[in-house]
Amino acid sequence: MPTLTRRQRLASAHGLLYVALTVISLVALFPLLWTLMTSITPRDQIYQWPPSLIPNQPTAEAYTAVLQKTQLPRNFLNSIIVAGSTVALSLLVGSMAAFRFARGRFPGKDLILFLFVATIMIPGLSNIIPLYIIMRRLSLLNTYTALVLVYTAGNMPLVVWLLRGFIDGLPIELDESAVIDGATTFQVFRHIILPLIAPGLAAAAVLTFVNAWNEFLVALTFIQSASKRTLQPAIQQFVGYYEQTEWTYIAAATLIACVPVVIVFLFLQRALIAGLTAGSVKG
């Protein structure tokens, strides 16, 4: 029996790896494929047995219905406003806080940072009642502001932890040289630190956007008006829609909701990977 050379063994190993990755990818993509097929299945065929992956008469009726007969376009815009505002506010406040934790010197800095980041482990569900009471007393219920503030607070530990790792990886001599040349602390932060941690900002932006875009419980609890409802609670309204669950509507709306997330990842995927990997070794 002939002995395989080292190159042949490597080629065989790579082939098996690609086959395994292909199978795993197909398994991971199957729910998305099923959702797509459901969205183009006629309503009268949705409960047929045995189920068919590919419908006999594909139709775009569900997409037309959710875009023209429901408030989904308005809900989509609401989610864009809330998620975009959350990203902007989180990066603004989080970058300044990270700069302070990385470059500042004050008693208990490490303990404060640890306790701050540790709040990530607190389940969001446990905060829903006190947050509701606070927003009601501030007269912020049923407003975008309530969602933006809550989402920003929830994402802040992740943003600060990630950006602080980037800033710690920058030589302190950069700051000192700028100060010697007459720069203020804010100018150092604005003109030196921020450009150098751009990958970290991109990674934080992607993670914050996805978290705000996909959030369901807070939006369902804080927003009562249909015109101000964000996308995720709006999709849930199709359960019991017209006294029955419209699975084709839910599938179509779900795929529409995936579009912004896919676009964000496509445009920022390299920055996201660079940000996560660099931040993990610089922290």
Distance CA(116)–CA(158), nearest Å, equals 10
Listing DSSP states for 108-159 in one string gives THHHHHHHHHHGGGS-GGGGHHHHHHHHHHTT-TTSHHHHHHHHHHHHHHHH
pLDDT at residue 3, as a whole number:
59
pTM, whole model, 2 decimals? 0.83
pLDDT of residue 56: 78
- pLDDT value at residue 152: 95
Inter-CA distances, 236 with 43, 47, 86, Å:
18, 20, 22
Give the pLDDT of residue 220.
92
Torsion of CA 176, 182, 186, 187, to 10 degrees: -100
| 283 residues of the chain, pLDDT tens digit each | 455 577 767 777 788 888 898 999 888 888 888 888 888 888 777 777 776 777 778 888 889 988 888 899 999 999 999 999 999 999 999 999 999 988 888 888 888 888 888 888 877 778 899 999 999 999 999 999 999 999 999 999 999 998 998 898 888 888 888 888 888 888 888 988 999 888 889 889 999 999 999 999 999 999 988 889 999 999 888 877 556 777 888 899 999 999 898 888 888 777 666 666 654 444 4
**Smallest Cα–Cα separation from 267: which of 202, 196, 212?**
202
Q: List all residues 6 or more positions away from 80 whose beta carbon is below 8 Å from its beta carbon.
A: 260
* pLDDT number for residue 275: 60
Q: Which residues contact 67 (CB under 8 A, 6 or more apart)?
A: 73, 256
pLDDT of residue 283: 42
